[in-house]
Amino acid sequence: MSPITIDLFDPDTLVFDDEPDLFVRVDTVPVVFTVRGIRYFTPRFKLVGVNIAMLRTESEFRAALLKATTHESNLLLESIQSKANATHQANEHQVLLAVLMFDIDAAEAAMDRLEHKLRAGLTVVSPVGDST
């Protein structure tokens, strides 16, 4: 799994969806990034080998954005899968993974296991001497 070097939960993600002009003007050639846009897009585009300074047109920007968001989605899915498979005990990541995979039956089953674990007050403990 690739290391995640950016904050996938950056609050600016939602702001960009609602107010893209706060980040980039795509109605000009070359496209113009605001300071906030440079700070937000540079590390994301760098992860997929795109130099933000080389983007000139809206179509180039959109292609880079699609490449970056696809990569981020894959990293997030890998992280969730890793945490879901880390234990045989019920955990929230198993529910989330099932929802992301659109498997309602698996999501309900994972939720039932998780609710049972919570009702029973079960916790996972490390064996004596295990420092993990």
Pair (111, 64) in one structural domain: no
Task: Specify the range with the lowest mean pLDDT, choosing from 11-25, 50-64, 106-120.
Answer: 11-25
- Residue 129 maps to a domain: no
Pair (59, 93) in one structural domain: no
- Residue 96 maps to a domain: yes
Sequence-ordered list of residues with C-beta below 8 angstroms from that of 54, at least 6 positions apart, any chain: 60
Number of domains in the chain: 2
Q: Is the pLDDT of residue 12 over 80?
A: no
Per residue in 83-107, pLDDT (tens digit) is 888 887 888 889 889 988 899 998 8
Per residue in 115-130, pLDDT (tens digit) is 888 888 766 666 666 6
The identity of residue 97, as a single letter, is L
Pair (28, 67) in one structural domain: yes
Q: Which of 52, 48, 51 is nearest to 67 (CA)?
A: 48
Mean pLDDT (the chain, rounded): 85
Range of the domain at 99: 85-123
- Residue 27 maps to a domain: yes
For position 19, what pLDDT does the model report?
A: 83
Q: How far apart are CA 37 and CA 32, in angstroms?
A: 9
Task: Specify the range with the lowest mean pLDDT, choosing from 10-14, 33-37, 103-107, 111-115.
Answer: 10-14
- Residue 130 maps to a domain: no
For position 132, what pLDDT does the model report?
A: 54
Pair (68, 95) in one structural domain: no
Pair (64, 98) in one structural domain: no
Pair (70, 93) in one structural domain: no
Tell me the whole-structure pTM to 2 decimals.
0.70
Pair (49, 97) in one structural domain: no
Q: Is the pLDDT of residue 14 over 90?
A: no
- Residue 58 maps to a domain: yes
Query: Percentages helix, strand, coil for the chain, rounded to the nearest 5?
Result: 60, 5, 35
